[in-house]
Amino acid sequence: MFRKETRWIKLSFSASGLMENSIEIAYVAGMKLCFVSNAQGIFAFEEKCPHNGFALSAGTITSDGKSIVCPLHRYAYDMKTGRCSHGSGGAARVFPVEEREDGLYIGVQETRWGW
Ligand code: FES
Protein backbone atom coordinates (compact mmCIF):
# COMPACT_ATOMS: atom_id res chain seq x y z
CA MET A 1 0.00 0.00 0.00
CA PHE A 2 1.27 3.45 -0.86
CA ARG A 3 0.93 6.30 1.56
CA LYS A 4 1.78 9.96 1.34
CA GLU A 5 4.02 11.56 3.93
CA THR A 6 5.36 15.04 4.36
CA ARG A 7 9.11 15.19 4.78
CA TRP A 8 10.28 18.41 6.40
CA ILE A 9 13.55 19.71 5.06
CA LYS A 10 15.55 22.38 6.87
CA LEU A 11 16.57 25.14 4.49
CA SER A 12 20.08 26.54 4.36
CA PHE A 13 18.75 30.08 4.81
CA SER A 14 16.52 31.75 7.37
CA ALA A 15 13.42 33.88 6.93
CA SER A 16 15.54 36.99 7.50
CA GLY A 17 17.66 35.92 4.53
CA LEU A 18 14.71 36.46 2.20
CA MET A 19 14.22 39.94 0.84
CA GLU A 20 10.70 41.24 1.41
CA ASN A 21 8.47 40.86 -1.67
CA SER A 22 11.16 39.57 -3.96
CA ILE A 23 11.33 36.16 -5.62
CA GLU A 24 14.33 34.13 -4.51
CA ILE A 25 15.39 30.85 -6.10
CA ALA A 26 16.75 27.86 -4.21
CA TYR A 27 17.27 24.20 -5.04
CA VAL A 28 15.63 21.84 -2.54
CA ALA A 29 15.45 18.05 -2.86
CA GLY A 30 16.43 18.28 -6.52
CA MET A 31 13.74 20.85 -7.33
CA LYS A 32 14.16 24.45 -8.42
CA LEU A 33 11.86 26.45 -6.16
CA CYS A 34 10.84 30.06 -5.70
CA PHE A 35 10.55 31.62 -2.25
CA VAL A 36 8.63 34.78 -1.44
CA SER A 37 8.43 36.46 1.94
CA ASN A 38 5.96 39.27 2.57
CA ALA A 39 3.23 40.42 4.97
CA GLN A 40 1.06 37.47 3.84
CA GLY A 41 3.65 34.89 4.90
CA ILE A 42 6.49 32.89 3.45
CA PHE A 43 5.64 30.97 0.29
CA ALA A 44 7.42 28.27 -1.67
CA PHE A 45 6.43 27.04 -5.12
CA GLU A 46 7.93 25.28 -8.10
CA GLU A 47 9.79 27.65 -10.38
CA LYS A 48 8.30 26.23 -13.58
CA CYS A 49 4.94 27.69 -14.62
CA PRO A 50 2.35 24.88 -14.85
CA HIS A 51 0.78 26.44 -17.95
CA ASN A 52 3.65 26.30 -20.38
CA GLY A 53 6.82 25.95 -18.36
CA PHE A 54 8.03 29.54 -18.27
CA ALA A 55 10.09 30.75 -15.29
CA LEU A 56 7.85 32.02 -12.51
CA SER A 57 10.98 33.53 -10.95
CA ALA A 58 10.77 36.18 -13.70
CA GLY A 59 7.19 36.95 -12.70
CA THR A 60 5.72 39.66 -10.52
CA ILE A 61 3.94 39.57 -7.19
CA THR A 62 0.44 41.02 -7.12
CA SER A 63 -0.13 44.17 -5.04
CA ASP A 64 -2.01 42.18 -2.37
CA GLY A 65 1.04 39.92 -1.99
CA LYS A 66 -0.97 36.73 -2.50
CA SER A 67 -0.22 35.68 -6.08
CA ILE A 68 2.58 35.36 -8.57
CA VAL A 69 1.95 36.46 -12.16
CA CYS A 70 3.76 34.56 -14.90
CA PRO A 71 5.36 36.99 -17.36
CA LEU A 72 4.59 34.93 -20.47
CA HIS A 73 0.77 34.77 -20.56
CA ARG A 74 0.06 36.74 -17.38
CA TYR A 75 -1.71 33.91 -15.55
CA ALA A 76 -1.77 34.49 -11.82
CA TYR A 77 -1.18 31.69 -9.31
CA ASP A 78 -2.14 31.86 -5.66
CA MET A 79 1.14 31.32 -3.80
CA LYS A 80 -0.60 29.50 -0.93
CA THR A 81 -2.91 27.14 -2.84
CA GLY A 82 -1.29 27.13 -6.30
CA ARG A 83 -4.71 27.81 -7.86
CA CYS A 84 -4.68 29.64 -11.18
CA SER A 85 -6.94 32.66 -11.54
CA HIS A 86 -7.60 31.85 -15.21
CA GLY A 87 -8.96 28.36 -14.65
CA SER A 88 -7.13 26.77 -17.57
CA GLY A 89 -3.56 27.33 -16.43
CA GLY A 90 -3.30 24.28 -14.19
CA ALA A 91 -2.10 24.66 -10.62
CA ALA A 92 1.33 25.65 -9.40
CA ARG A 93 2.95 23.14 -7.09
CA VAL A 94 3.20 24.82 -3.70
CA PHE A 95 4.94 23.71 -0.52
CA PRO A 96 4.20 24.49 3.12
CA VAL A 97 6.85 26.54 4.89
CA GLU A 98 7.35 26.57 8.66
CA GLU A 99 9.51 28.93 10.64
CA ARG A 100 10.81 27.02 13.67
CA GLU A 101 13.17 27.95 16.48
CA ASP A 102 16.09 26.35 14.70
CA GLY A 103 15.35 27.57 11.19
CA LEU A 104 13.11 27.53 8.18
CA TYR A 105 11.59 24.25 6.95
CA ILE A 106 9.77 23.22 3.81
CA GLY A 107 7.36 20.29 3.61
CA VAL A 108 7.74 17.98 0.62
CA GLN A 109 5.10 15.33 -0.05
CA GLU A 110 6.50 11.89 -0.72
CA THR A 111 4.79 8.66 -1.61
CA ARG A 112 6.11 5.65 0.26
CA TRP A 113 5.43 1.98 0.22
CA GLY A 114 4.40 0.70 3.63
CA TRP A 115 1.55 0.07 6.08
S1 FES B 1 3.72 29.90 -19.40
FE2 FES B 1 3.11 30.86 -17.58
S3 FES B 1 1.16 31.63 -18.02
FE4 FES B 1 1.72 30.62 -19.83
Task: List residues near ligand 1 (CB under 6 A).
Answer: 49, 51-52, 54, 70, 72-73, 75, 89
Domain boundaries, the chain: 19-102
Predicted local distance difference test score (pLDDT) of residue 13: 94
Find the 114 Cα to ligand 1 centroid distance in Å: 37
d(CA 100, CA 77): 26
pLDDT band at 2 (very low <50, low <70, confident <90, very high): confident
Q: β-strand 41-46 against 60-61: which pairing, if any?
A: unpaired
Buried b / exposed e over 2-14, threshold 16 CB at 10 Å, is eeeeeeeeebeee
Query: Over the stretch 79-89, which tens digit does the pLDDT of each residue have?
Result: 999 999 987 77
Query: Over the stretch 14-65, which tens digit does the pLDDT of each residue have?
Result: 999 999 999 999 999 999 999 999 999 999 999 999 999 999 999 999 999 9
Residue 115: pLDDT over 70: no
pTM: 0.91
Give CATH for domain 19-102.
Answer: 2.102.10.10
